[in-house]
Each structure stands twice: as structure tokens, then as C-alpha cells.
Amino acid sequence: MTSTASHTAPPGTSRPPLRFLYTLLQLALLGTIGLVILPLLAAWLATGIGLVFLVGIGLLLLVGLLYAVFGLSWLEIERVSELYDLPVAPLRWRPRTEPGFGAWLRSLGRNLANGRMWAAFGSFAIATLIGAFMLGALRWSISSAILAFAPLTETPVVYTLGGWELTSAQAPWLILVALAGAAVVVGLVFLHRAIATAIVGAVARETVLAERAYTSSVQREGAVRAAEVERTRIERDLHDGVQPRLVSVAMALGLAHQQIDSNPEQAKELVAEAHTSTKAAITELRQLTRGIYASVLEDRGLDAALSAVAGRSHIPVTLDIQLPYRAGRNAEAAVYFAIAEALTNAAKHSRASACRVTVRVREFENQPWIWARIEDNGVGGAHIQPGGGLDGIHNRILAAGGTLHLDSPHGGPTALEVNVPCAS
């Protein structure tokens, strides 16, 4: 089997000339429109404060101003993150957590105190000022470059933007002014990059850390729940299966010991019965340990382990497995458990006549993931219940840092998809 490497460019690898041009155009737009927006917002704020005691009109204006600032901040984060390929989560409005006017006011307060929003708005204001200065330097540079060629037009006197009077013979020196203006434009573009990435990038780092903390919390919770479900399953299987068989073996051997002299034939039958029960108990113990971790999975990989699971299934299973390499012990164990448990649930509840299992390695966020889909043609209606088989699958996948998606409408079919990072 062969694998195809992903050639998706990682963040921050777009072409520098295009990025410089995009930054230049955006700063020119901000330097034009932003100088109109900022005074309007200031006038809006002053009007709202001035009318705050006039039948609440000022309060409505201030609330509208908050929404306007939020919109500009959201746009600024999207602009900077897209321009510089920063992994920043979009700015989200903090909604009210319960109905009522008081909850709405508390929601406004939480959004008013959102430091991320104000940081992005500050980035917008700074970018506007930089854009205005850049436009001035650009006009100065272009006009100086044009006037530098005044001797070709035999113009006796030329004037620069600053009102300086120069003779035609002195005009070529304006090419130095044009170069200085171009240098200022380039410097302002890089200054904007440094400031914008420092402001929005700090938010990006905070977002990444928050996501990592949340992911770790979810994985830890999933691992704890998976361990609890697994412990309960082991206790149940031992109590309901292996333990009664071992008790039966002990009783049969005890009776055989009592009758070995008086009734040898009966003792032989009891020993044979104990022998049969012992083999059954060994088989159940093997199945129990296989549910914890299959030895064939360690030795021969996921393909062979799933082939063994399919061979034991009461429903015919079609396997379509294409794995170019071993994906890691934890990832393979999580996918194996998910598929094995899904096939067990299908045999118990789905009334299906066929199952299909598909396993692939896919690229996601520049990292290989194992993707598996288990589909049956049963009656559907499956859903995750606390303590159930699907809940155990969900917890195992979460603990491995993966995701699970269940699609089981009434009437079928049922499809379960799991994704687990190979590095887990």
C-alpha cells in the first residue's frame, strides 16, 4: 500500500511579495475609510453621553456603539489573522446565559469588559493612523518622483508638496526624496505587521493555550470515564460469567473428591464437567482480556486485529483497511476498541444483516489521523447513553484526543465515524 504526502502549506508560508501588496492595499483603505469611521465613533460616543439622561436615548446610542465597536473588532481580527496566517479563533459575542432583561444587561457588561475586543479595536485604530501616514508618504514619494523629471519638460520652477521652490536644475535631487518616501512606506508596512501581530498574535497564543487546556481537560475526563466504564464492564463480566463457572468447577471437583472411592464413574463425570467448565472459563477470560487490549494488535497491527474481530462477529463484516504504517499503540488501541464495541452493539441491537468497516489514514491540520467508519444496515435509532457501549467508545476516543460522530436515524442505517490522531 502506498501513501500520498500532503503538500498543504503550513501557516505563515504565503508569498511575501503578495502579502506586502495586500498589506499596502489594506493600509491604504484603512487610511481612507478609518479616518472617517474613528471621528464618527467619537461623535457617536459624545452624543450618547450627552443624551444619556434624555429618556434613555443616550443609553440606546451607547449600546449601539458597543455593537459597532464589536463588529469592527471582529473584522480586525479576521483581517489580521487572514493576512498573516495567525491561528486565531474568531471574536464571539458573549450571549446571555438566561432569559430576562437583567441577563441581557449582564451580557452587555461582559462584552464591555472583553479585553480581546478592545485590543482588536486598538489594532484597528493604530492601523488607521499608520495607513494615513503611509498614504501621505506615498503621495510625497510619487509627486517627488514625477517632479524629478522637470528638466525634461523645460519647466523653470517646480514646487514640491511642502511648498518648497526649486529650480529646474535642482529638481533631479527630488529623486532622493522619492526614495526616502518609498522607504517610509515600506517601513510603515512592516511596522503595521509588527504591531498587528503583537496584538492579535498575543490573542492567538492565548487562544491556543486555552484550547490546549480545554483539550487536555476533555481528554482527562474521557480517560477517567473510560476507565470507570471499563472497570464496571470487567466487574460485570467476571461476576456474571467467569465467577459462576469457577464456582461450578470448585463444586464439581469437591463432589468428585467425595465420590472418587465410592462412585468412581460419577466422579469421572464430575471431573469431565469441571474440565469443560474450566475451558469455558479460560475462553471467557481470553475474551475479557481481549476487550482490554488484543495481543494480536501489539504483534501484527490493526489490520490483523480487526480481521480477527470480524471473524468472530455474528454479522457478516466487510473490511476495507488501508494503513500505510503503524499509527501508534494508543491510537490503534482506541480505534480497535471502537470498532470491536460497535460491531458488538450492532450484533446485539441493530438487527443488521451486514456491516462494513472502512479504515484510512488522513491528513488533518498537517498531522496524520486514523479515520474509521463502521456502518450497518440495521434498524437505526442508536444513541449515546451514559454507561452504554457507545458511551464507552466516546470516552475512549476522547481520551485518545479524537472525535466521534454518530448518524443513526430511525429505520437505519447506522454509521459511526471516529478520528484519532496517530501521534496520540
Partner residues linked to 420 by β-bridges: 370
pLDDT of residue 230: 60
- Whether pLDDT at 421 is above 70: yes
Q: What percent of the chain has pLDDT over 70?
A: 75
pLDDT of residue 89: 73
pLDDT in tens, 231-276: 666 666 666 666 777 777 788 778 877 878 777 777 777 788 877 7
pLDDT in tens, 127-136: 999 988 888 8
Residue ending a domain, among 200, 225, 250, is 225
Residue ending a domain, among 199, 225, 251, is 225
| Residue 396 is assigned to a structural domain of this protein | yes
pLDDT of residue 7: 33
If you average pLDDT over residues 162-175, what whole number do you get? 65
Q: 208 and 319 share a domain?
A: no
Where residue 332 sits, what CATH number does that domain have?
3.30.565.10
pLDDT of residue 228: 60
| Residue 406 is assigned to a structural domain of this protein | yes
pLDDT in tens, 131-156: 888 888 888 888 777 777 766 666 66
Q: Give backbone dihedrals phi and psi of 368, rounded to 5 degrees, phi first.
A: -75, 135
**Considering its fold, how many domains does the chain have in total?**
2
pTM over 0.75: no
Q: How far is 172 from 157, CA to CA, in rounded Å?
A: 12
Q: 86 and 216 share a domain?
A: yes
| Residue 201 is assigned to a structural domain of this protein | yes
User: Nearest to residue 253, comparing CAs of 243, 268, 238, 237?
Assistant: 268
Task: Grade residue 223 by pLDDT with cuts at 50, 70 and 90.
Answer: low
Residue ending a domain, among 207, 225, 243, is 225
- Whether pLDDT at 158 is above 60: no
Q: 196 and 340 share a domain?
A: no
| Residue 288 is assigned to a structural domain of this protein | no
Whole domain around residue 379: which residue ranges? Answer: 297-424
| Residue 269 is assigned to a structural domain of this protein | no
pLDDT in tens, 379-399: 888 887 776 778 778 878 877
User: Nearest to residue 163, comparing CAs of 140, 184, 145?
Assistant: 140
10 Å Cβ neighbour count for 104?
A: 14
Q: How far is 218 from 67, CA to CA, in rounded Å?
A: 33
| Residue 243 is assigned to a structural domain of this protein | no
pLDDT in tens, 311-344: 888 889 898 888 888 877 778 888 888 888 888 8
Q: 35 and 133 share a domain?
A: yes
If you average pLDDT over residues 281-291, what whole number do you get? 63
Q: 216 and 342 share a domain?
A: no
pLDDT in tens, 53-69: 776 687 888 888 889 99
The grid coordinates listed for 299 are 504483534
Q: What is the DSSP string of 116-173?
A: HHHHHHHHHHHHHHHHHHHHHHHHHHHHHHHHTTGGGGT-SEEE-TT--EEETTTGGG
Q: Give backbone dihedrals phi and psi of 93, rounded to 5 degrees, phi first.
A: -70, 135
If you average pLDDT over residues 74-96, what whole number do you get? 81
| Residue 321 is assigned to a structural domain of this protein | yes
Mean pLDDT (the chain) is 77
Q: How far is 317 from 268, CA to CA, in rounded Å?
A: 42
pLDDT of residue 152: 65
| Residue 344 is assigned to a structural domain of this protein | yes
Bigger pLDDT: 313 vs 164: 313
pLDDT of residue 8: 34
For residue 315, give the amino acid letter: I
- Highest mean pLDDT range out of 107-121, 287-301, 405-419? 405-419
